[in-house]
């Protein structure tokens, strides 16, 4: 039986469990499926959103999916307009999209 002292790969932390985070890698279809499942009502009409912790997690998941979708759309629009985005990271595309959306151009139409 492994103990913490034997170093089984777990490093004990004095940090409270509520302050620790979990990071998952999901494909976009997996994340969308999880979000859809969380939003599905049960037989009694309740959804997972009735639980405040699940609601917060679902909102974070949704924001991540929306950001990925927005970056893909901005990249497609830029490439459709003739701009090469192959050398741009998703973060750079996101930043450029934000700068463009903050301009007053959208108010002129």
pTM over 0.75: no
pLDDT score recorded for residue 74: 95
pLDDT score recorded for residue 106: 59
More confident residue, 94 or 2: 94
pLDDT score recorded for residue 46: 83
pLDDT score recorded for residue 13: 59
With beta carbons less than 8 A apart as the criterion, state whether 79 and 57 touch.
no
Across 31-56, average pLDDT: 88
């Amino acid at each position: 039986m492994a103990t913490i002292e034997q170093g089984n790969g777990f490093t004990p932390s004095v940090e409270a469990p509520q302050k620790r985070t979990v990071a998952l890698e999901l494909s976009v279809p997996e994340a969308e499926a999880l979000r859809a499942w969380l939003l599905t009502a049960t037989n009694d009409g309740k959804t997972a959103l009735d639980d405040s912790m699940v609601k917060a997690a679902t909102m974070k998941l949704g924001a991540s999916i929306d950001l990925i979708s927005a970056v893909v759309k901005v990249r497609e629009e830029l490439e459709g307009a003739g701009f090469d985005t192959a050398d741009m990271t998703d973060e750079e595309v996101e930043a450029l999209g934000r700068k463009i959306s903050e301009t007053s151009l959208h108010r002129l139409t």
